[in-house]
C-alpha cells in the first residue's frame, strides 16, 4: 500500500480579513517548520493573494473555498480556475456542505467543477457527508456513494488519485460533536471502497475527516487507518490550535 502523506487543511470559511490572515500565517509558519504533513490554508478569495505571498518558500499550500466550472463568462460573483491558478493557488475545496445546503450547490455542478479543477492543475478537495437524519435512518453509505458517483462522474479513473476527499458528517460540523473514531474509520474506508470500485488507485487517495476536529481529538482521528488527514474549521482560526493539529499528524 502506498504511503499517504498526512494532509491537514484549515477551512477558514467566511473568517479573517487580509490583515488577520497575514497575522495568522506569520504565527503559524515557525510553529510547523518541522512537519512532514501537507498543510493547506483555505482563506476567503480576498485573502488568497496575501496568504500565497506570505507562505512563499515554505511547504504550506493554499486553496480556495469554491470556484465556477467555466473559465470565464457572465457569472456575476463567481471566480474561475484560471483566476485562482494565476495567483499560484494550488487547490480548491468543492462541495462543502455549507455550499450544498446554504447556496444550493448541486451534484450536477460538482460533476463539472471537479474535472475543471483537475484540468487547471488545481487539486480538488471534494467534501461529502451525510445529515444526521440520514445517519439515523441507516443511509450514510447510500448518501456517500451517491455523492461520490455523481461528483466524480466526469473524472477518469487515472485521475482519481489527484482528488482529495473529505468526509464531513454534517451533524459534526461546527457542533462540537465529533464522529467517533469507529464512525470516521468506517465512513472513510467505505469511501475508499467506492473509489476502488471506480477503478482508481484508491490506496493513493488522501481521505480526510472533518467535523469538530480540535487539538484534543486530532491524534486519535489521524491514527485511524483510512483517515489520512483533517479538514479543520473552527479550530483552524487559531494558529496555536491549528499548529497542534498539524503536529498530531507528524
Q: Grid coordinates representing 7?
A: 494532509
Backbone angles phi, psi at 246, to 5 degrees: -60, -40
Place of cell 435512518: 137
Residue closer to ligand PGA (CB basis): 200 or 231: 231
Minimum distance of ligand PGA from residue 25's CB (angstroms):
19
Instruction: Give me the least distance between CB of 182 and ligand PGA, in Å please.
Output: 19
Helix (H, G, I), strand (E, B) or coil at 43: coil
> What is the residue whose three cell numbers read 499550500?
61
Choose the catalytic residue: 50, 68, 96, 130: 96
Distance, CA of 62 to CA of 10 (rounded, Å): 9
The phi and psi torsions of 23 (rounded to 5 degrees) equal -60, -40
Distance CA 78, CA 76 (A): 6
CB of 212 to ligand PGA, least distance (A): 4
Separation between Cα atoms, residue 131 and residue 144, nearest integer Å: 11
- Report the C-alpha gap between 6 and 222 in whole angstroms: 8
- Which of positions 191-210 make contact with ligand PGA (CB under 6 A)? 210
**Options 234, 239, 245, 249; binder of ligand PGA; rule CB under 6 A:** 234
Catalytic annotation on 49?
no
Q: CB of 236: closest distance to ligand PGA in angstroms? A: 7
Report the residue number, 84 or 93, with the smaller CB distance to ligand PGA. Answer: 93
Annotated catalytic residue 96: yes
Catalytic residue among 98, 123, 130, 168: 168
171/221 Cα distance (integer angstroms): 17
Q: Report if residue 233 touches ligand PGA, rule: CB under 6 A.
A: yes
Q: How far apart are CA 215 and CA 233, in angstroms?
A: 12
Interface residue with ligand PGA, options 51, 227, 231, 245 (CB under 6 A): 231
Binding of ligand PGA at residue 11 (CB under 6 A)? yes
Q: Give the footprint of ligand PGA on residues 165-184 (CB under 6 A).
A: 168, 173-174
Q: What is the DSSP letter of 120?
A: T
Applying CB under 6 A, among 117, 118, 232, 243 the residue interacting with ligand PGA is 232
Residues that bind ligand PGA (CB under 6 A): 11, 168, 173-174, 210-213, 231-235
Catalytic residues: 96, 168
Amino acid at each position: 500500500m502506498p504511503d499517504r502523506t498526512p494532509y491537514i487543511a484549515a477551512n477558514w470559511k467566511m473568517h479573517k480579513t487580509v490583515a488577520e490572515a497575514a497575522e495568522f500565517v506569520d504565527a503559524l509558519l515557525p510553529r510547523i517548520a518541522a512537519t512532514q504533513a501537507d498543510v493547506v490554508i483555505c482563506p476567503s478569495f480576498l485573502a488568497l493573494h496575501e496568504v500565497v505571498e506570505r507562505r512563499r518558500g515554505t511547504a504550506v499550500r493554499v486553496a480556495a473555498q469554491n470556484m465556477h466550472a467555466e473559465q470565464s463568462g457572465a457569472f456575476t460573483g463567481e471566480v474561475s480556475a484560471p483566476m485562482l491558478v494565476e495567483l499560484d493557488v494550488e487547490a480548491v475545496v468543492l462541495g462543502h456542505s455549507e455550499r450544498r445546503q446554504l447556496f444550493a450547490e448541486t451534484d450536477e455542478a460538482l460533476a463539472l467543477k471537479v474535472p475543471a479543477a483537475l484540468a487547471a492543475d488545481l487539486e480538488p478537495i471534494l467534501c461529502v457527508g451525510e445529515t444526521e437524519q440520514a445517519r439515523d435512518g441507516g443511509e450514510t453509505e447510500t448518501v456517500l456513494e451517491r455523492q461520490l458517483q455523481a461528483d466524480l462522474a466526469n473524472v477518469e479513473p487515472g485521475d482519481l488519485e489527484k482528488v482529495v476527499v473529505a468526509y464531513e458528517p454534517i451533524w459534526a460540523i461546527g457542533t462540537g460533536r465529533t464522529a467517533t473514531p469507529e464512525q470516521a474509520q468506517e465512513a472513510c474506508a467505505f469511501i475508499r471502497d467506492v473509489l476502488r470500485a471506480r477503478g482508481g488507485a484508491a490506496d493513493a487517495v488522501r481521505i480526510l475527516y472533518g467535523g469538530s476536529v480540535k487539538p484534543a481529538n486530532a491524534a486519535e482521528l489521524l491514527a485511524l487507518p483510512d483517515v489520512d488527514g483533517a479538514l479543520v474549521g473552527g479550530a483552524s482560526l487559531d494558529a496555536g490550535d491549528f499548529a497542534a493539529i498539524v503536529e498530531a499528524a507528524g
